Structure 1
Amino acid sequence: MKGISPKVSIIVPVYNVEEYVEQSVSSIISQTYENIEVILVNNASTDKSIDICSRLTADDSRVKVVEIENNNGVSHARNYGLRFTTGEYIMYMDSDDYWINENVVSKLMEIFSSNCKVDFITFNYTKYFQKDHIFKNELLFNQQALAGRTKYEKIEGLITSGTFPMSCWSKIIKKDFIVNHNISFILGTAGEDMAWFIELIDKCDDFLAVNEFFYCYRRQNGKSLSSGFNESRFNSLFNITQVIIEQFKTQETPLQKYVLAYMAYEYSILLGISHNFTGKKRIEILKELNNYRWILKYDLNPKVKKVNKLISLAGFNLSVILLNYHIKRLN
């Protein structure tokens, strides 16, 4: 007799996404793998999102809505949603994104069945620039650097190929692993995926990175957390970057050089974004950033190598301007 397939729980924080949430949830409930549940965490939406979510629950019993009275951010919503999951595996989705095809969960569970010792699987994603209607695949994982390797060799392979997969929505994870290690998202900060993923790779015995473009990451929608930038968000990102750097700079563990190498990449982004500020504020920020310039010596990431070369040729201040231009062009 054929056994029952393990249940997969998908947590979706929802906040004022009436234009997108139905497409997001539809891409989940249309999966060929049927033993799933969708936990929609309504984060005090003020638009029609909750009405849409309520209709979706009426149409499919696998969809559940849980309410948060006050919007305390996406990290709180993800942590809160985990409490209501009953599946053996956990996935996350942002409510303005969607899965690209109907076989996402079935393929991932098939991979898990052949690799039962890994704690999580990470996969690729496609960026959808909505305003320009352009789809752009992220870089492929370097399978030659990953196949048959140890955990730390895999981490180095991801860093050196510039494909370190931070985002929680590009993962499927064993729930027992999350619960047993008490892995959660830090509240009240942007870049919450960074600390979360570092803890994930630190605590796991092993993981897989598979070249499957399952996830569509929507940009240019005006509501996405990544669609804009302001001083508060910059300060939050700089703060979490500082916290992680300070945590690992004296922590002599096998993970140290890899975490600092990734933070060198994040630091490079902060350098470019800092040019959005003007006058005394820009001077203050650049002075603070300059205190962490030493992080660029951890240049396993090829993009960090380019930033080092740029600074050596153009100098620090001009490099900040050029990095800012590059980031704006990409986004």
Structure 2
Amino acid sequence: MNDVKVSIIIPVYNVEKYLRECLDSCINQTLQDIEIIIVDDCGSDKSMDIAQEYAKKDNRIKIIKNSQNMGLFLTRCEGIKSATGEYILNLDSDDFLDLRACEIAYNATKDGYYDIVTFGSYYWNNNSASLFSEFERSSFDSGDEFGSWLFRSKNISWNLWGRLIKRDIYQANLDFLMSVNARLIMAEDVLAMFVIYHNCQRLNFISDMLYYYRYNPSSSTNDKSIENLKNCIDSFEVVIAKMREFASKNQCNKRWQKLYISLGVHECDILKRRLKIKEGKFGLMDKIGAFIEGRWFVIRRKLRVKFGI
């Protein structure tokens, strides 16, 4: 396939209920110069029968099969390795795109000038859309300029989906990302965007709402069991260690790097408190500590956003 502008990467594992809507949103994109890479993570339902059905009808669809179940993080990386498009768009297999997503986002790259284009998203639940994330139009012509803006942002966006990312930049960082020797069930986006942001110089945020993030009750993020909470904490701790490792080896904007890692630690601490509550171990001193940490987090954020300190 020649002149592929966007490679859509779709890891697939037991999503037969949602996969048709996901794939329909891809094959009907108004931008036709795309490839759709489906990575089979060895599920047990009929998802891949559906994928094969679509692949027979559309030669832009490429199917890759893992030799064994690898989880979302490494499965996505396998798709990235095979991509040939100028830009990468990550799409979770239970989500879907606005039919103009690729066209609008690709046009916002300004003929390849921007390394990454970020757009807004909706939260999709019971066939109803509500706001998930939105951005004012902002563009940056250097990593330092972006880093200063990010440091003063109230909310840090670190999801991988909802963006076009230049393939060369993404693939250049795959070795480091795939060096993670643990199965991540949470925070994989945090690590990937930390690394990608470090290597982007020109970034564009647009106000268009182009991604639909679906509430999926069977998703690991919605599993509140003690075992899953422990696994999520383990994932965050691995990711925090890898971010620190990357930062120690690469030139970067120290202020936003420190902020980004501290937010990861904050999210991990929230999970640890939830685990203690689940286990019935959340005592008075924990409540006092959580209250103090929560208030201090809010104060620090206000100082950072308003005064840049």
Q: TM-score range by the shorter chain?
A: 0.7 to 0.9
**Distance verdict in 2 for CA 1:262–1:180, change over 3 Å:** closer
Q: Displacement, 1:271?
A: 3.4
Cα distance in 2, alignment partners of residues 267 and 200 from structure 1: 19
CA shift for structure 1 position 262: 2.8
Give the aligned partner of residue 155 of structure 1: 147
Query: Any residues of structure 2 matched to 1:42-57 within 5 Å, and which?
Result: 42-57=40-55
Partner of 2:156: 164
CA contact (8 A) 1:142 1:161 kept: no
**Match runs of 1:213-228 below 5 Å:** 213-219=209-215, 221-228=216-223
Instruction: Check 1:172–1:25 CA distance in 2 against 1; reply closer, same or farther (3 A cut).
Output: same
> Is 1:129 the counterpart of 2:121 in the alignment?
no
Give unpaired runs (5+ residues) of structure 2. none
1:306-325 map, 5 Å: none
1: CA distance, partners of 2:208 / 2:66: 34
Mapping for residues 255-266 of structure 1, pairs under 5 Å: 255-266=253-264
Q: Does the 8 A contact of 1:39 with 1:64 survive in 2?
A: yes
CA distance in 1, matches of 2:248, 2:58: 51
Distance 1:87-1:200 versus aligned 2 partners, 3 A rule: same
2:140 is equivalent to residue 141 of structure 1: no
Percent of residue pairs identical: 23
Amino acid at match of 1:111: A
Paired position in structure 2 for 1:61:
59
Letter in 1 for 2:105: L
Letter matched to residue 128 of structure 1:
W
Using the size of structure 2 for normalisation, the TM-score is: 0.80
Question: Does the CA contact (< 8 Å) of 1:161 and 1:302 recur in 2?
Answer: no
Cα shift at 1:282: 5.3
Per-residue displacement from partner, 1:156-184 (whole Å, max 9, x unpaired)?
33443334221111211221222344464
Structure 1: 5+ residue stretches without partners: 306-331
Q: How does 1:282-297 map to 2 (within 5 A)?
A: none
> Whole-Å Cα distance in 1 between the matches of residues 168 and 247 of structure 2?
30
2:198 equivalent in structure 1 = 202
Structure 1 position 250, deviation (Å): 7.3
Let me know the Cα RMSD of the aligned residues: 3.3
Answer yes or no: is 1:21 the counterpart of 2:19. yes
Q: Give the TM-score of the pair, scaled to structure 1.
A: 0.75
* Higher RCO (C-alpha 8 Å, min separation 6): 2
Alpha-carbon spacing, 1:14–1:108, altered in 2? closer, same or farther (3 Å): same
Match of 1:223, SS? coil
Tell me, in whole angstroms, the C-alpha distance in 2 between the residues paired with 1:111 and 1:250.
33
Q: Which runs of 4+ in 1 moved over 6 A?
A: 248-252, 296-300
Give the whole-Å Cα distance in 1 for the aligned partners of 2:59 and 2:105: 23
CA distance in 2, matches of 1:271, 1:212: 33
Q: Return the offset for 1:212.
A: 1.5
Flag the 1:227–1:88 CA change in 2: closer, same or farther, 3 A: same
CA spacing shift, 1:233–1:125, aligned 2, 3 Å:
farther
Cα separation, 1, equivalents of 2:248 and 2:174: 24
Q: Partner of 1:90 in structure 2? A: 88
How far apart, CA to CA, are the structure 2 residues paired with 1:59 and 1:244? 41
Kindly state the Cα deviation for residue 216 of structure 1 after the two structures are TM-superposed. 0.7
Rounded Cα–Cα distance in structure 1 between residues aligned with 2:239 and 2:164 = 25
1:15-59 CA-partner distances (Å, limit 9, x unpaired)? 000100111111011001111111110100101111111111112
Partner amino acid, structure 2, of 1:224: S
* Count of matched residue positions in the alignment of Structure 1 and Structure 2: 289
Shift of 1:6: 4.1
Equivalent position of 2:232 in the other structure: 234
Q: Distance in 2 between matches of 1:135 and 1:29?
A: 22
Cα 1:255–1:148 change in 2 (3 A) is closer
